[in-house]
């Protein structure tokens, strides 16, 4: 099948590469000429494990190509997938300018029937607006080409997006037109040979499903973070509680870790957009407002612990392990590490940070500044620091030499925002260990 992907960010590039890997012919459109030229040269603009070889082999095979020409893109694919960004507007609602611009571009140039797919995360009712935008462009041209608008939300995790795309948990199709449904089923048939994964529903239901999924996961995170405060107050280890409730099959283990809050390009934006959508409908989501409030507060928990331990933070130096909002990505959008660094700087402290992937992104965001050193290794960051602060749970942080950490720190103090270590083990090495929802160990 011939597929056009509009947008070459995480969703667009991963989806396009994986569809091409299944034998489809895929053309990716982006208005950023520099990005398109780099992609043609095999330079991947994002860090996503496993993506580069998939892109490279399909470019070499001639199944994956790139363009900046909207006319070429609209003429190419029977399926036109819109995978552009929907950044939060000033009021928290999703900004649909790029989605609607993509729809108008399709309507302006499509030569015949097209299945237009909303792959971007969009508010309920966006499919109607896309349909209207395409119809207006066709009317302006004086043509009556048929088309269908389908909602097909993505459920990709940054850091595991290629695997998620190749082996989807479910394929949600918001479609009421049998012809469009048949086209989409044909496209996804290779991804579900083991068993049927397709869920067909109304377009609006599909749009809401995506927001509801992310909001549910965010809710679990904020619940555990809120509960971690009570755990500390009553002298309970939140890890014991996590295991006690996670072993209940009705609850399960996923997204039950207390920490420094959620970040990234999806959860914060989607929770805000869903809150805004509900307010516009006169049905406020009180629970989600609390989820968001807890998350914002949790991002400052490590700095509060540091302040309680040291008093004034002015003039102190903190080693920071982890900059990305999660492992296996360089994405720092809404990352808790940013909130931690900015709070430390505001109090006159300096930071020596290490992240195996996100140092360049940090440099792009903050530039060169006297109160930020980007270290080449975890132990280099620790040298001469008053405390170690752990914000991202990269695998290489899981089993460090505590003796070497202690020898390099000015004061033997760790603030662990991801509960990576057993408190008794850390204390045996002569370190004072502050974590989330657990009693202080050592010291």
Q: Report how far residue 441's alpha carbon sits from residue 435's, in angstroms, rounded to the nearest whole number.
A: 9
CA 268, CA 329: separation in Å to the nearest integer?
Answer: 17
Helix (H) or strand (E) holding 53: helix 51-60
Main-chain phi, psi angles of 14, to 5 degrees: -65, -45
Q: Which two tokens stand for residue 237?
A: 């280890």
The catalytically annotated residue of 18, 28, 266, 362 is: 266
Residue 54 token pair: 């998939």
CB under 8 Å to 45, separation ≥6 — which residues? 8, 13, 35, 38, 39
Determine the Cα–Cα distance for residues 365 and 1; give it in Å rounded to an integer.
40
Contact 97, 133 (CB under 8 A): no
Give the CA angle between residues 74, 78, 118 to the nearest 5°.
Answer: 75
Active site residue 266: yes
Residue 261: what are its φ and ψ, rounded to 5°?
100, 160
- Which single residue is written with the structure tokens 């996804």? 188
* Cα-to-chain-centroid distance, residue 329: 9
Nearest of 327, 221, 347 to residue 337 by alpha carbon: 327
What is the spatial distance between Cα 417 and Cα 224, in angstroms, rounded to a whole number? Answer: 13
Catalytic residues: 266
């Amino acid at each position: 099948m011939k597929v056009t992907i509009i947008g070459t960010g995480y969703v667009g590039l991963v989806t396009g590469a994986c569809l091409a890997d299944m034998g489809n012919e895929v053309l990716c459109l982006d208005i950023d000429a520099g990005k398109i030229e780099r992609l043609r040269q095999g330079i991947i603009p994002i860090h996503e494990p496993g993506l580069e070889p998939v892109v490279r082999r399909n470019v070499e095979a001639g199944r994956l190509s790139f363009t900046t020409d909207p006319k070429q893109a609209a003429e190419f694919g029977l399926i036109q997938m819109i995978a552009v960004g929907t950044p939060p507007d000033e009021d928290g609602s999703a900004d649909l300018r790029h989605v609607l611009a993509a729809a108008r571009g399709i309507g302006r140039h499509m030569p015949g029937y097209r299945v237009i797919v909303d792959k971007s995360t969009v508010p309920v009712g966006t499919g109607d607006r896309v349909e209207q935008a395409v119809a207006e462009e066709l009317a302006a041209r004086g043509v009556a080409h048929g088309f269908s608008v389908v909602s097909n939300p993505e459920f990709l995790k940054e850091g595991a997006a290629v695997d998620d795309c190749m082996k989807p948990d479910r394929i949600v199709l918001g479609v009421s037109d049998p012809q469009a449904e048949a086209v989409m089923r044909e496209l996804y048939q290779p991804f579900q040979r083991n068993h049927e994964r397709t869920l067909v529903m109304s377009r609006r239901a599909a749009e809401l499903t995506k927001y509801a999924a992310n909001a549910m996961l965010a809710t679990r995170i904020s619940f555990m973070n809120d509960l971690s405060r009570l755990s500390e107050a009553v002298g309970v280890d939140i890890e014991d509680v996590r295991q006690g409730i996670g072993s209940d099959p009705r609850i399960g283990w996923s997204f039950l870790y207390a920490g420094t809050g959620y970040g990234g390009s999806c959860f914060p934006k989607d929770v805000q957009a869903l809150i805004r959508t509900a307010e516009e409908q006169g049905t406020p989501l009180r629970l989600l407002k609390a989820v968001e409030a807890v998350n914002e507060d949790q991002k400052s928990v490590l700095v509060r612990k540091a302040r309680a331990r040291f008093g004034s933070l002015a003039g102190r130096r903190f080693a920071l392990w982890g900059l990305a909002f999660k492992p296996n990505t360089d994405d720092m959008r809404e990352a808790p590490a940013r909130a931690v660094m900015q709070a430390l700087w505001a109090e006159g402290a300096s930071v020596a940070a290490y992240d195996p992937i996100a140092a360049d992104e940090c440099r792009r965001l903050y530039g060169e500044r006297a109160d930020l050193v980007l270290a080449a290794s975890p132990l280099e960051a620790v040298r001469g620091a008053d405390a170690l602060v752990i914000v991202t749970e990269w695998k290489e942080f899981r089993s460090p030499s505590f003796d070497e950490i202690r020898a390099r720190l000015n004061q033997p103090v760790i603030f662990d925002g991801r509960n990576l270590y057993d408190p008794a083990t850390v204390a045996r090495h002569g370190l004072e260990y502050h974590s989330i929802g657990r009693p202080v160990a050592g010291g």
